[in-house]
Amino acid sequence: MQYDFPNQLSGQGKGLTVCEYCMGSLAACLAQTIVAHATSRGIQIDGIDIDVEGDVDLRGFTGISNDVRPGAQQFRVNMNIKSTNASKEQINELHEIGKKFSPAFDTLTNGLR
């Protein structure tokens, strides 16, 4: 893996930022969680598309403002689960299961204890 910043932030644009990798890891963890629970229920998953977007206020990251957190203020997760043998209700349940049992989702939404 190569981490980098875009040119606008003094990087060379040769890799994703750490925060972008974090969002990719969140998507991968959600997908694995959904597949594991679907498999245990006999539901065949034909495909999962997960898009994660996040908002980072660069005033916090750069130290311009002490009133803004340096991390992401929000993540938005959009999931599309494709299955030929699952009902709409089962697909909706898998969406909720992903959010409920994904270790990455739990850590990012509840923090460390």
Cα–Cα dist 22/83, whole Å = 27
pLDDT value at residue 71? 86
Q: Is the pTM of this model over 0.75?
A: yes
Backbone angles phi, psi at 79, to 5 degrees: -120, 140
If one looks up domain 7-107 in CATH, what number appears? Answer: 3.30.300.20
Q: Which sequence spans correspond to the domains of the chain?
A: 7-107
Q: Residue 97: what pLDDT?
A: 97
Q: What is the mean pLDDT of the chain?
A: 93
* Structure confidence by residue, pLDDT tens digits, 46-62: 999 999 999 989 899 88
| 27 three-state secondary structure | helix
DSSP string, 68-112: S-SSEEEEEEEEEEE-SS--HHHHHHHHHHHHHH-HHHHHHHH--
- Is the model's pLDDT at 85 over the cut of 90? yes
Residue with tokens 């990087």: 11
Place of tokens 């229920």: 41
